[in-house]
Amino acid sequence: MKKYTMGIFAVLIAIGLYSFESTNNTPLKAVDSLYWFQVATNQGANTSFLNSQVTFISGPSTIIPPGTNCTGTSKKCVVGFSQSQLVAPGYTTLNDNMGLNPQIPQHVGRERSTL
C-alpha cells in the first residue's frame, strides 16, 4: 500500500484542483441553441455581420464556445445566429456559413476589449 501513496495523493490533488477550478468556472450558456461564429479582427463594433466578417466555430448548441482572444467586455468576439439566418442564395439552409445577407446576431456570446 505504501508504494501507492504518492500516486493516490496525486489523484486526490487532481480531484481537489478540479473541484476548486469548476466552482470558479461555470460554462457560458445561451438561452437558445445557436450557431456560433468568431468575429474577425477589426469587426467587433459591427451591429450586423457578413459571411466574410465571421468564421464558424460550432453549433447548434446552447454552450458558448471559448473563441479566440475573447477577454474583455466592449467589442463582439463570439456571436450566435439561428439557422433561419444562415441561408444560401438558393434558399438552402447552411450550418457553417452566413450566406450572402448581413445578419444581426441573436446573441453576443463573448466580448473582447479591442476591435
Partner 1 sequence: MKIQSSLLTEIISSLLILVWTYAAISKLFDFNGFILVLQSSPLLKPFAYVVALTLPLMELIISFLLLVPKYRLKGFASSFYLLLLLTGYIGYMLLFATNLPCNCGGILKKIGWSGHFFFTTILTGLAAAGWLIHKKNKYLIAINPHNGGHSLRQG
Q: Does 93 sit near partner 1 (CB under 8 A)?
A: no
Number of residues counted as binding partner 1 (CB under 8 A): 28
Pairing of β 54-63 and β 29-39? antiparallel
User: Residue 34 and residue 2: Cα distance in Å, rounded?
Assistant: 52
Q: Does 101 sit near partner 1 (CB under 8 A)?
A: no
Between the alpha carbon of residue 70 and those of residues 13, 17, 34, 62, 82, the distances in Å are 30, 24, 18, 18, 21
Nearest distance from residue 89's CB to partner 1, in Å?
25
> Stretches 20-28, 43-51, 80-88, 106-114: which one binds partner 1 (CB under 8 A)?
20-28
Binding site for partner 1 (CB under 8 A): 3-4, 6-11, 13-15, 17-18, 21-22, 25, 27, 36, 38, 55, 57-58, 61, 63, 65-68
